[in-house]
A = this chain, B = another copy of it.
Amino acid sequence: MIPDDALRELSMMLGERLSTGKSDLALHGRSETWHPEMPPDAVAYPTSAAEVAEIVRLCARHGVPVIGWGTGTALEGHGSAPLGGLTVDFRNMAAVLEVRSEDMLVRVQPGCTREALNTELRATGLMFPVDPGANASLGGMAATRASGTTAVRYGTMRDQVRGLEVVVPDGRIIRTGTMAAKSSAGYDLTGLFVGSEGTLGLITELTLRLHGQPEAISAAICGFPSTEAAIQTVILAMQMGLRPARIEFVDATTAAILNAHDGASFAETPHLLLEFHGSEAAVTEEAARFGDLAAESGGTSYQWATQAEDRTRLWRMRHRAYHTILASRPGATAVVTDVCVPISRMGEAIDRAARDIAASRVSGPILGHVGDGNYHAILLVDPTSAAERAEAKRLSDAMVAHALELGGTATGEHGVGLGKLHVMEQEHGAAWDIMGAIKTALDPDRIMNPGKLVRQN
């Protein structure tokens, strides 16, 4: 809720850049996945960190919830407004501020998307590698500690964010980190804000690491007789020090759906999709070594694609897979799981999940970023069927429980938001109280993205 006097003050401050239109509110209450719509009471479109600070101070004075918004592509209801309040949409703060080629760094505003950044970088020989699929905003990606297909080589957002400018809950603007490659100067506040999902403050600027555009890229596809054989190949490759830029797993069900609905022609068995980055010589050596390992594990039909068009087609298909799978059952909505396990236990974990899903009343192909031990079941449910929704929740919770048993985590990359709140205590035990203590210390009135991530009481 926003009290009338607060709304009036906001309106005076922002003019046209404060919106209370129904459709705008609805848009900012929606999630990509199954989460119910929870709209804010107003949406602000600030243009500077100073303005964000002014907004936060005003909201703090009136006890108004403040929710950050990038592109709305988060999957666990991160951007929803369960208590109403003000959504701060960063679309007007989307500039690339400075490219520092020699330092391989860039300073950006939070609303800049990863594709916009890479377009800007094209002529520099540099690139920003993190690729969660969606063309998300970089502020949102940092806030949710996003990763995706390329993390196996380049790391996650945790590894890319060198420094931040943040408006903290009392409205002060702080800077974390530096432009230096490393620092031991106290607590790692940058790392604390990355993944804090807007519950500790709003990111108003990011300093990000860049990487050289690879001299050569090649892609490969390989079918396997079993999940176990595919995963074993991944484990051996990692142990050997191979570092493909992507190692994606699709199970037999996903292969069948891609054949039927996206014009693919996979054998209907588990597959690995790979990409290699490096010098010509390094890429050739790495792809050949991977092919040898795959053959030893019973891999079939190892195919390379060095042509850009073939690669583009492959990764478009992979990135589209979520929507292709969703479309394979018209009218369905998806509950997407996101566990991440130690890679030694990944084969058994995927097999168990697949058996549980097969024995259930819903369908759910499995695919994932297996170089990191992270995979997703796309559980397809009829949104009008309470029984199917409950079944999907049961399957998802079972996958989480098994992942925790194996030393893994409930969420490899999608985050907590609303969707994983109920398993945080199970995963962290007393450490969740420490998170709560940090939240209380920095945001005693709980105005920043309330209802998410920490214990609610």
Q: Which positions in A face B, CB cutoff 8 Å? A: 100-105, 125, 144-147, 151, 156, 158-159, 168, 172-176, 178-189, 191-192, 194-196, 200, 211-212, 214-215, 235, 238-241, 278-279, 281-282, 285, 338, 340-344, 371-374, 403, 406-416, 420, 424, 427-432, 434-435, 437-438, 440-442, 453-454
Contacts and interface: CB of A to CB of B under 8 A. Distances in A.
Contact of A430 (B174, B184, B341): B174
Nearest to A172: B430
27 contacts: A100-B344, A102-B239, A104-B239, A144-B184, A145-B182, A145-B188, A147-B182, A147-B184, A151-B182, A156-B182, A158-B191, A168-B434, A174-B430, A180-B340, A180-B403, A181-B342, A181-B374, A182-B340, A182-B409, A183-B411, A185-B415, A187-B453, A191-B191, A192-B192, A212-B239, A212-B241, A434-B442
Nearest to A126: B239
A214 B239 contact: no
A192 B185 contact: no
Given A101-B239, A144-B184, A407 B179 contact: yes
Contacts of A186: 195, 416, 424, 428, 432, 435, 453-454
Given A214-B241, A239-B101, A438 B438 contact: yes
A342 B182 CA distance: 10
A412 B187 contact: no
Contacts of A180: 340-342, 372-374, 403, 407-409, 412
Contact of A158 (B176, B188, B403, B440): B188
B343 A102 contact: yes
A212 B411 CA distance: 27
The 4 closest A-B pairs by CB, nearest first: A179-B407, A441-B441, A191-B191, A102-B344
A188 B194 contact: yes
A174 B156 CA distance: 25
Nearest to A415: B184
A340 B184 CA distance: 10
Contacts of A420: 185
A342 B184 contact: no
A254 to B, nearest CB: 22
A185 B100 contact: no
A184 B195 contact: yes
A369 B178 CA distance: 17
A225 to B, nearest CB: 20
Q: Determine which residue in A146, A183, A371, A440 has the highest number of CB atoms from chain B within 10 A of its CB, and name it.
A: A183
Contact of A416 (B185, B188, B409): B185
B184 A192 contact: no
Given A158-B191, A437-B442, A183 B102 contact: no
A185 B409 contact: yes
A182 to B, nearest CB: 5
A191 B403 CA distance: 22
A385 to B, nearest CB: 29
A68 to B, nearest CB: 16
A283 B235 CA distance: 23
Contacts of A212: 239-241
A101 B428 CA distance: 25
